[in-house]
Amino acid sequence: MKKAILFGMLALTALQAENFLTATGTERYFNVVRRNLESSADAMPAEKYGFRLTDGQMTFAQWLNHSTQRNYSDCATLKGESTPAAERQAASLTEKAEVSKALKESFAYCAEALQGMTDQKAISSAAVSMAFLHLLAHNNEIYGNVVGYLRVSGIVPPSTASRKGKKK
């Protein structure tokens, strides 16, 4: 019995040392949604950045700006920093080049924050845990909305396009 408990403790310690939560979150969710949102920004024509699916919904640019703002807010928490001024500036962006650039810079900021992330740090406080989980979940929610804008515009979403390429 003592050997089983010792083995279990060693296995748990090994799992914690490998940072499965943060590694999986980064590789499987953050990197994928980053690629999908950045590719969506590139794929949508400039004249469609002001497009709304229906009255009352955000424009395509506003969805991307929302991602940019939350990226800066969440990742500043992960880094233990004040939210960068770029977070506030994102709300006023409307043109494709500036919106796309801001989005990509916010994802680069987050990638930097995630480089130093460990499972232990991810659960170190409620604020850090919420920021980490929000970064992963919220961007996927935004991508789910952006997909509709792309499809209505006759553009195959990046996630679908990448699956088609793998089916060869």
Query: Tens of pLDDT along 106-163?
Result: 999 999 999 989 999 999 999 999 999 999 999 999 999 999 999 999 999 999 987 7
Q: Are 93 and 61 in contact (CB under 8 A)?
A: yes
The pLDDT of residue 1 is above 60: no
Dist CA 66 CA 20 (whole Å): 28
The amino acid present at 129, given as its one-letter code, is: S
What pTM value is reported for the model? 0.86
Q: Are 48 and 149 in contact (CB under 8 A)?
A: yes
Q: What is the pLDDT of residue 19?
A: 85
Residue 83 CB: number of other CB atoms within 10 A?
Answer: 14
pLDDT tens sequence across 76-102:
999 999 999 999 999 999 999 999 999
Q: Angle formed by the axes of helices 126-152 and 31-43, to 10°?
A: 30
Q: What is the pLDDT of residue 143?
A: 97
Dist CA 50 CA 55 (whole Å): 12
pLDDT band at residue 34 under the 50/70/90 scheme: very high
Q: What is the pLDDT of residue 18?
A: 77
Q: What is the pLDDT of residue 13?
A: 52
Q: What is the pLDDT of residue 164?
A: 67
Mark out the alpha helices in 25-168 (DSSP H runs).
Answer: 31-43, 60-79, 85-90, 96-115, 119-122, 126-152, 158-166
pLDDT band at residue 3 under the 50/70/90 scheme: low
Q: What is the pLDDT of residue 28?
A: 93
